[in-house]
Amino acid sequence: MSSNELAGVGGLTQPRPTNPAQLADVLERVLDKGIVIAGDIKIDLLDIELLTVRIRLLVASADKAKEMGINWWEGDPFLSLNGRDRRGLEGRLRRLEAAAGLDGEDEE
């Protein structure tokens, strides 16, 4: 990099490295890892996670992402049905199906 100045957030003209890291790798680290802090101006962490999901879904449909093992937002009550409630419902559904002599679809 040629600039000798640390361009802070807000400076949009910083030079790009000649061999920039893959965006996916940077997003994964900067949005998913690192110390999590609740600041004075609160950014709801769920927003950040929602955003990460959106970024991934921009390039992968939800079903495709799920197929690839990216389904962690499903456990997030903000992003889906409450995971525990849903598991409870599924359990009840399966027991009801069993009681009625119906074959529930195998999950695994």
Binding of residue 28 to another protein (CB under 8 A): yes
Q: How far apart are CA 16 and CA 19, in angstroms?
A: 8
Regarding 24 and contact with another protein (CB under 8 A), the answer is yes
Task: Give 17 or 101: the residue with its C-beta nearer to another protein.
Answer: 17
Rule CB under 8 A: choose which of 62, 70, 83, 86 binds another protein.
Answer: 70
* Residue 64 sits in the site that holds another protein (CB under 8 A): yes
Spell out the long-range contacts of 81-85 with Cβ–Cβ below 8 A and sequence spacing 24 or more: none
Phi and psi for 9 in degrees, rounded to 5?
A: -60, 135
Of 57 and 86, the one with the shorter C-beta distance to another protein is 57
By CB under 8 A, tell whether 75 contacts another protein.
Answer: no
Give the angle 26-2-34 at the CA atoms, nearest 5°: 25
